[in-house]
């Protein structure tokens, strides 16, 4: 029989954090595969916070919901600045 007089410990391994760039890549390609305009859909999600803008195909919706929307904007802006050769 189990000793119920002691507290039991339960440990869960934290999920590995996926870089924001990778999340955007997965989401973009999942949207394109399903025939959606990825840019319009991602903008809709960022502006509204409504996850139904993102397809659940390839786990895209659950992935993007693990990232704060301001982090998505920050990553997109960083890449834009980097590609335009601005100093950041």
DSSP string, the chain: ---TTS------PPPPPPPHHHHHHHHHHHHHHTT--HHHHHHHHHHH--GGGS--GGGHHHHHTTS-HHHHHHHHHHHHHHHTT---
Residue 4 within a domain: no
Asked whether residue 61 is assigned to any structural domain, the reply reads yes
In a domain, 9, yes or no: no
Q: Is residue 76 situated within a structural domain? A: yes
Q: One digit per residue, pLDDT tens: the chain, 88 residues?
A: 567 778 777 787 777 778 999 999 999 999 999 999 999 999 999 999 999 999 999 999 999 999 999 999 999 999 999 988 776 5
Task: Please indicate, yes or no, if residue 70 is contained in any of the structural domains.
Answer: yes
In a domain, 52, yes or no: yes
Q: How far apart are the two ends of the chain, measured CA to CA in Å?
A: 63
Instruction: Name the token pair of 32.
Output: 């394109």
* Contact indicator for 38, 55 with CB cutoff of 8 Å: no
Domain encompassing residue 33: 20-83
What pLDDT is recorded for position 85? 78
- Residue 62 included in any domain: yes
């Amino acid at each position: 029989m189990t000793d119920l007089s002691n507290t039991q410990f339960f440990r869960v391994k934290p999920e590995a954090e996926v870089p924001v760039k990778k999340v955007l890549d997965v989401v973009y390609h999942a949207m394109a595969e399903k025939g959606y305009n990825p840019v319009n859909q991602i903008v809709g999600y960022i502006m509204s916070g409504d996850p139904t803008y993102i397809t659940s195909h390839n786990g895209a919706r659950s992935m993007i919901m693990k990232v704060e929307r301001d982090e998505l904007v920050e990553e997109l802006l960083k890449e834009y600045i980097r590609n335009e050769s601005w100093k950041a």
